[in-house]
A and B are shown apart, each in its own frame.
Chain A
Amino acid sequence: MQFEDAQLVYLCLDGDTDAFGRLVEHYQGAVFATAYYYVGRHGAAEDVAQDAFFQAYRNLRRLNDPHSFGPWLREITSRTAANWLRKHAKRLNSETPLPYKRPISIEDHRQGPASDAERTELYDRIQRAVDTLPERYRLPVVLRFLQELSYEEISEFTGESQEEIRGILQQAVRKLRDSLQDEGKGESNWFRVRK
């Protein structure tokens, strides 16, 4: 049984904090991925995501159309991330980039450090390839591949139709496929997906 966003927004305005919890549960993947898209791998995406939810809660009375909670939350997340970047711009510029953060797995020990470096390189190449995509394509790609959101979930959050999302992801991966074609073969590329 799924509550509509609008119902949950009305419940929140009535002081039901658990209703806001349900909105957090539903949108946390999208908000985290958007924060990640802006602030990158500096460990701040989670803080930005959390702050974006606080901002949304604080400003909930200003939401004109409770049916468009998703796109409104996306705007807030972008603004929160932009503020974070402004605040931390100086520090980030002088900071050495952090190594690619991944959970430790036995696989890493088995393959040794060379493979870890290769993985970091693959990540960087993919990140560079994603950066060359038209701007409108980038966020849906991150939402899909970072948090594995469905087209319906992406559409609820960006405000674009599911058909548009389908077209955007098709075009985006088609372009990425060309730039990444020669990679991947020969390495044991297991990965885990949530379904």
Chain B
Amino acid sequence: MVSCTQIENSLQAYIDGEVGASERAIFEQHVDECPICKDSLRAQQRANAMLFSAYSGERLTHSLRYRIVAHLPEIESVRIHDSVVDLINERAKHPISLWGRVGRLMPVAAIAILLFVTLVLRYSLPETPEPLVAMSIGVVTAASGVTVHAPKDAPSGEPAGLSEFVLRGDQLETRSGSGIMLSLTGPTSLKIGENSRVRVEDARSVMLDYGRIWLDVGRDGRLFKIHTPRGQVTVFGTVFSVSHINNETQVTVERGEVQVTEGDEFRQVEGGQQVVAKSAGELTEPALVNSRQEHSWARRIMPDSEAEKLFSRRLQSRSPSGELPSRQVYMVSPYTQEVTAIRLYWQPDQFLTGHCSYDLYVSGDNDLPIFHRRIEGSQFSNPGVSSLEIVPDKPIVGMETLEIRLVPDYKSGRIEIDDVQVKALVVEGS
């Protein structure tokens, strides 16, 4: 039995999603049965809501990366002389002699010689043609056993070879006892187990026809989608696996958070949990599972270091991290009042066309799925309209907080940047 003091000490970690699956289960069972702890949880959630609310406008919402990297060469030259001012002072004190002038030209001459040698080497050695590198979205970093790597729409393919580039639409197939690993820009690691077939649609989406795959999507909030003949998996930075065997899709999460959708049904799945889609429109509740054990097959597929080096040298710098907004999540506290509608607002932009569509997911306390709607991108292009009311099939009652996720369907159009994104959501209580 767990005591109320232990629960009190886990409140914040629970709200922050920083407890393991078993601790979470014990926590929820206690809170369900103990009105005092339930009140404490609500009070703590309210304090969290206020803290997030107060700081939300102050957040850094764009990446500093490219601006900083652009200035690094200037710093590099300063670093050699400690500071530009010192360098100037030094020169003023000691005027440069003729030999000094010749000496000053030495680094320039050395660079020129190096450049010449590099150019000679470059054109004399075989190198992957640039257009192929530019079109690639990944590299095969492990391949064992009988495998097939086929280009888009090709009737047949060749065995997958180490360090091969992967292009959009490529299909990879494994037979019994074989395995493949791909490093995709992002960066994302994708391992394909035996007896599987996968089509890499682009660097952020794959189609699993059958078999099983394991993914590490990193942790920077990017969106990744996996389609199977049964259901769709949307991921926001995490380690997990998907299998589709005997017309049944299984999603097992090792770390992070995954959203699984099948028709109108959806589930939030966290580390150490698994959900199964058995038939159309049917998803099991997330159940505890030993995810490390489930993924032992994936740990046996090890990347080749030379192929990894090729990936990091040629493709990794093109990783789109920080460039693409993945989703917007809003927390709304109706404090158990009845919720009859959810309203979306955005700032109209008359020049805006080709806006992407969104999937809207509404969950209640303890990630309880409530409803899912598709919002077509054309709604955002109507100049006279800047809000949209979404009415659930039946009013939402008894929820302390609602979590509302807007997930862009980046293939349906352009994902908007901050100032034209959907701005606010308001719950209309009765």
Query: Interface on A for B, CB 8 Å cutoff?
Result: 1-2, 15, 17-18, 20-21, 24-26, 28-29, 32-33, 36, 41, 45-46, 49-50, 53-54, 57-58, 100-103, 105-107, 110, 122-123, 126-127, 141-142, 144-148, 150-151, 162, 166, 169-170, 173-174, 176-177, 180-181, 183-185, 188-195
Contacts and interface: CB of A to CB of B under 8 A. Distances in A.
A18 B317 contact: yes
A190 B425 contact: yes
B340 interface: no
Contact of A191 (B18, B76, B188, B331): B331
Contacts of A190: 53, 330-332, 424-427
7 contacts: A1-B187, A24-B65, A54-B68, A106-B347, A166-B18, A177-B43, A189-B333
Contact of A1 (B55, B216, B345): B216
A188 B57 contact: no
Interface residues of B, number: 74
B345 A107 contact: yes
Interface in B322-368: 322, 327-333, 335, 345-347
B68 A1 contact: no
Nearest to B332: A190
B424 A105 contact: yes
Nearest to A15: B76
B64 A53 contact: yes
B69 to A, nearest CB: 4
B57 A189 contact: no
Contacts of B346: 106
A195 B13 contact: no
A24 B47 contact: no
Contacts of B63: 24-25, 28
B56 A1 contact: no
Nearest to B216: A1
- Could you say which of A2, A102, A177 has the most chain B C-beta atoms within 10 Å of its C-beta? A177
Given A17-B72, A147-B60, A151-B18, A173 B426 contact: no
Nearest to B56: A191
Contacts of B321: 25
B9 to A, nearest CB: 6
B27 to A, nearest CB: 13
B47 A173 contact: yes
Given A49-B60, A191-B52, A194-B329, 15 more contacts: A20-B68, A21-B66, A29-B60, A101-B58, A102-B56, A105-B345, A127-B54, A150-B18, A166-B18, A173-B12, A174-B8, A183-B50, A184-B46, A185-B46, A190-B330
Nearest to A61: B79
B423 interface: yes
B322 A25 contact: yes
Interface stretch (B150-158, B196-204, B217-225): B217-225
The 8 closest A-B pairs by CB, nearest first: A102-B57, A106-B345, A177-B47, A32-B60, A191-B53, A107-B424, A126-B54, A21-B69
B1 interface: no
B216 to A, nearest CB: 6
A146 B16 contact: no
B205 interface: no
A147 B67 contact: no
B330 A191 contact: yes
A59 to B, nearest CB: 9
B254 to A, nearest CB: 14
Nearest to A109: B345
A1 B189 contact: yes
A87 B76 CA distance: 25
A195 B237 CA distance: 9
Contacts of A180: 46-47, 50
B411 interface: no
B178 interface: no
Contacts of A184: 46, 49-50, 333
B11 A28 contact: no
B256 to A, nearest CB: 10
B78 interface: yes
Contacts of A192: 56, 328-331
Contacts of A177: 43-44, 46-47
Contacts of A150: 16, 18, 219
A191 B425 CA distance: 8
A181 B42 CA distance: 11
A3 to B, nearest CB: 8
Nearest to B64: A28
Contacts of A101: 57-58
A110 B13 CA distance: 35
Given A29-B60, A123-B54, A126-B54, A173 B48 contact: yes
B13 A166 contact: yes
A181 B317 CA distance: 48
Nearest to A127: B54
Nearest to B40: A177
A18 B321 CA distance: 12
A185 B400 CA distance: 12
B261 interface: no
A122 B64 CA distance: 29
Contacts of A148: 52
Given A24-B64, A54-B71, A103-B57, A188 B329 contact: no
A106 B386 contact: yes
Contacts of B55: 126, 142, 145-146
